[in-house]
Structure 1
Amino acid sequence: MISLLLAVIYLVFISLGLPDSLLGSGWPKMQVVFGVPSSYAGYISMTICFMTIISALLSPRMINRVHTKWIVISSIVLTILGLAGFSISHRYEMLFIFAIPYGLGAGAIDASVNHYVASNYSGSAMNFLHCFYGVGAMISPYIMSLALKYAKWNEGYLWTAFVQTAILAIVIISLPLWKGNESEAEEDRQESAGIRESIKVPGVLLTLIAFFAYCSGEATCFLWTPSYFAGTKSGLSDERIAAFGALIFSGLMLGRLISGFISNIFGDKKLIRLGIILEFIGIFMLFIPTQNYLIAAIGFVIIGTGMGPVYPAIQHMAPTNFGKRYSAAVIGLQMAFAYTGSTFMPMVFGVLQQHIGIGIMPVYLIFFAILNIGMLELAYLRCGKIQTI
């Protein structure tokens, strides 16, 4: 029953990833239909992220009052509403209205399910969980491409809403599977602390800064990797440059897949340290002065592979480092800091590269990698639970 429930939870994280790639894949056509500049996608994306931050900050209170299964169901319903709303939008301004449920649903699922898995399953399960998020994020661009080929961009959102509805039906059918952990979860909810109390716990603020740093680097790679190749390597076709956008994502999937098999052997802290060492190796490969794009391409895959275990491991450590009383609030805060970094720091890099040049990207990435590991090591010391290697 436990393994069957875990399969349902993995399916939930596929549903979390499904909406995240739609805007990017559909926007080239959407902007033409709406008659707005390409940059206007950023305003929609920021609205979704802002609502996700709000939802993540509210998640500790929701987790304390409502069982995770009901948060998951209501969040998927909100996401379906957002996707269906996008599909019927015929004016750009309408997207802002439906971006509200779109973002609220994502943040609530992310924080509540991460807390549930961190509290009830191993680090291996947490890494595989985030792998399945990637599966969802990989599927939706194909849904949109089929819609653009055989129908319109609207159907891409509508078809994704249908997939989400099917996942919702499976979650509803699986409700009896959650009963095994209900009594323990009820006790945890009664003892859980709020955000104001939790942020004062030694080490929490340091892990929040570390999470902000990690997601800043990750999101910068997602947005700017193709531009890095276009600006630093010559003779590349537009198709090949666009394909380089998948390098970091492929590395992340690989890193989390490998971590799923070895995390129970190494533990979260060692896994993070090994991952960031690998990330440094990938970043240093970008400093090699050559026009050969293969070295940089391998470097970005290595960066992504190193980043892979960091996000799941930090969240999985929350109950251990801070206790179950604080873990729900800490994970909610982590999600809020994560989306803040993902929302704003790629934009900051965009301004920097416009004045200095896209070649500054490895320096930008190494700054956040150092900030990430530095804050985590300080957090371990503050928690008083540092382990010797």
Structure 2
Amino acid sequence: MATWFLIIIYMAFISLGLPDSLLGSAWPVMYPDLHASLGSAGIIAMVIAAGTIVSSLFSGRLIAMIGTGKITLISCLMTAAALFGFSAAPSMLWLILLAIPLGLGAGAVDAALNHYVAANYQAHHMNWLHCFWGVGATMGPIIMSYSIATNDSWRSGYLTVAGIQLGLVIILLITLPLWSKVAAIHAREQAESPLSSAEQNDNLEQHKDSTTKKNRNGILSLHGIKPTLAAFLLYCGVEMTVGLWGASYLVGARGISAQTAAAWVSLYYGGITVGRFITGFITLRVGNTMLIRCGQLISIVGGIILLLPMADGLALAGLILIGLGLAPIYPGLLHETPTRFGKSNSAKLMGYQMAVAYTGTTFLPPLFGLLATRTSVGMFPWVVLIFLVLMLYSAERVNRILSYRKGRN
């Protein structure tokens, strides 16, 4: 039952990814239709991200009050309703208002499902969970591209995704009693399989060290936490910047048609999806630190290719490489949290990390929108590459700090 139930969780994460990529792929067609400016997509993205920050910060209390299953059901219902509203929105003002429930729903289900999988399933499922987010994010631009090509309308694309979300709501409603049952099964299994004495001693030492540090200076003073938070901020910032503005760059700077640009952005998300599926197997043999480093280097190579003034096919190759490189970074950073900072701190730090990640989603894409409005959308590859390099620096700084601390101990 637990295995089959995991499929339902994966489906819920598909629904989380579907709306994330719609706005960017549709925006080249949306903003002229709504008589909006090119950069105003950043406002919508900022409102959505702000909602995710708020709901993720309160997700812990909500989980304790009503449970993960009900939070997931309510969140998916909110996003479905918001997407139906997007399909009929007559102006930018309506899109901004509808972005509020869309963001609140997305943040709550993201935090709830990450917590549930981390607590009840093995580590490689975290990569596969985020792989299925990529499935949804890949499907979104494909649906929108088909809608623009066949109906010459972005509205039918939003309507289709809203219908998919509603179907998931029905499935979640039917399976609602399973959430607590599966959690109880895993709790019994964990109780019957105690940690080895070595693991217990290691966890005890981590708890003592982290508790002493936390009591003395506060949780944010833990070794390496600040550059870790910077890496989360930059990761989500660059992932959303590419997803939101990639199609606009391809149309405005490369002269590619809107439907082709939407399809190419779907391949960027496809790179993330395929990368995370493969990474789920690689994590059985290779550590997260190495996977994160390799992913960052691959994404930087993709950014450099995107920057080169060469054939349009290379731009597609650059986008795919950026997606493949980004694939292991976010799940790897999440999974390393208890290892790096102690299990006693991980629950609280998970919320901090996700809130900072959403902050990157909130502010970095709109900053590029402002830059593109004042200069040119052709600045897109330069900004993406700068974000990627800064993320690599932040992640490597964490590794150096923790290695130095381990050497001293």
Point out where structure 1 has 5 or more consecutive residues left out of the alignment.
none
Alignment partner of 2:280 out of 260, 264, 273: 260
Aligned to 1:215: 236
What is the TM-score when the length of structure 2 is the normalising length? 0.77
Aligned to 2:356: 337
Q: Distance in 1 between matches of 2:311 and 2:2?
A: 49
Alignment partner of 1:270 out of 262, 268, 290: 290
Q: Secondary structure at the match of 2:284?
A: helix
Aligned to 2:310: 291
Q: Which moved more, 1:82-91 or 1:268-277?
A: 82-91
Q: Distance in 2 between matches of 1:36 and 1:284?
A: 31
The 5 Å alignment of 1:186-201 reads: 198-201=219-222
Q: Distance in 1 between matches of 2:404 and 2:184?
A: 29
Alignment partner of 2:225 out of 201, 204, 225: 204
Aligned to 2:53: 53
Aligned to 2:119: 119
Query: Given that residues 275 and 307 in structure 1 are in contact (C-alpha distance below 8 angstroms), is that contact kept between their aligned partners in structure 2?
Result: yes
Q: Secondary structure at the match of 1:341?
A: helix
Q: Distance in 2 between matches of 1:172 and 1:227?
A: 38
**How far did 1:36 drift?**
4.0
Q: Distance in 2 between matches of 1:165 and 1:217?
A: 30
The 5 Å alignment of 1:320-331 reads: 320-331=339-350
Query: Given that residues 220 and 345 in structure 1 are in contact (C-alpha distance below 8 angstroms), is that contact kept between their aligned partners in structure 2?
Result: yes
Q: Which moved more, 1:104-113 or 1:27-36?
A: 27-36
Query: Given that residues 268 and 323 in structure 2 are in contact (C-alpha distance below 8 angstroms), is that contact kept between their aligned partners in structure 1?
Result: yes
Q: Distance in 2 between matches of 1:251 and 1:91?
A: 33
Query: Given that residues 47 and 362 in structure 2 are in contact (C-alpha distance below 8 angstroms), is that contact kept between their aligned partners in structure 1?
Result: no
Query: Given that residues 24 and 248 in structure 2 are in contact (C-alpha distance below 8 angstroms), is that contact kept between their aligned partners in structure 1?
Result: no
Alignment partner of 1:302 out of 315, 321, 327: 321
Aligned to 2:44: 44
Q: Secondary structure at the match of 1:73?
A: helix
**How far did 1:265 drift?**
1.4
Q: Distance in 2 between matches of 1:37 and 1:355?
A: 12
**How far did 1:90 drift?**
4.2
AA paired with 1:11? M
Aligned to 2:199: none
Query: Given that residues 272 and 309 in structure 1 are in contact (C-alpha distance below 8 angstroms), is that contact kept between their aligned partners in structure 2?
Result: yes
Aligned to 2:397: 378
Q: Which moved more, 1:269-278 or 1:29-38?
A: 29-38
Q: 1:185 to 1:22 in 2, by over 3 A?
A: farther
Q: Which moved more, 1:84-93 or 1:330-339?
A: 84-93
What is the TM-score when the length of structure 1 is the normalising length? 0.81
Q: Distance in 2 between matches of 1:156 and 1:211?
A: 30
AA paired with 2:135? V
Aligned to 1:169: 170
**How far did 1:87 drift?**
4.3
- What is the CA deviation profile of residues 41-83 of structure 1, one whole-angstrom value per residue up to 9, with x for unaligned ones? 4333322221112112222333444432222122112222322
Q: Secondary structure at the match of 2:21?
A: helix
The 5 Å alignment of 1:131-150 reads: 131-144=131-144, 149=150
Q: 1:72 to 1:328 in 2, by over 3 A?
A: farther
AA paired with 1:180? V
Q: CA RMSD in A?
A: 3.8
**How far did 1:139 drift?**
3.0
Q: Distance in 2 between matches of 1:145 and 1:227?
A: 14
Q: Distance in 1 between matches of 2:233 and 2:301?
A: 21
**How far did 1:103 drift?**
0.9
- What is the CA deviation profile of residues 149-204 of structure 1, one whole-angstrom value per residue up to 9, with x for unaligned ones? 569755544443332222122223333433232487799xxx9x99x964344333
Query: Given that residues 84 and 157 in structure 1 are in contact (C-alpha distance below 8 angstroms), is that contact kept between their aligned partners in structure 2?
Result: yes
Q: Identity percentage over the alignment?
A: 41
Q: Distance in 1 between matches of 2:252 and 2:79?
A: 37
Q: 1:180 to 1:25 in 2, by over 3 A?
A: same
Alignment partner of 2:337 out of 307, 311, 318: 318
**How far did 1:314 drift?**
1.0
Q: Which moved more, 1:237-246 or 1:290-299?
A: 237-246
Q: Distance in 2 between matches of 1:30 and 1:362?
A: 23
Q: Which moved more, 1:89-98 or 1:329-338?
A: 89-98
Q: Which moved more, 1:300-309 or 1:338-347?
A: 338-347
Q: Distance in 2 between matches of 1:356 and 1:41?
A: 16
Q: Distance in 1 between matches of 2:165 and 2:350?
A: 25
Number of equivalences:
381
Q: 1:8 to 1:143 in 2, by over 3 A?
A: same
Query: Given that residues 39 and 369 in structure 2 are in contact (C-alpha distance below 8 angstroms), is that contact kept between their aligned partners in structure 1?
Result: no
**How far did 1:354 drift?**
6.5
**How far did 1:285 drift?**
3.6
Aligned to 1:22: 22
Q: Tell me whether 1:102 sits opposite 2:102 in the alignment.
A: yes
- What is the CA deviation profile of residues 253-304 of structure 1, one whole-angstrom value per residue up to 9, with x for unaligned ones? 232122122122112212111212222333344565x533444432332222
Q: Secondary structure at the match of 1:122?
A: coil
AA paired with 2:294? L
Q: Distance in 2 between matches of 1:362 and 1:368?
A: 10
Query: Given that residues 55 and 105 in structure 2 are in contact (C-alpha distance below 8 angstroms), is that contact kept between their aligned partners in structure 1?
Result: yes
AA paired with 2:234? A
**How far did 1:100 drift?**
1.8
Q: Distance in 1 between matches of 2:273 and 2:406?
A: 27
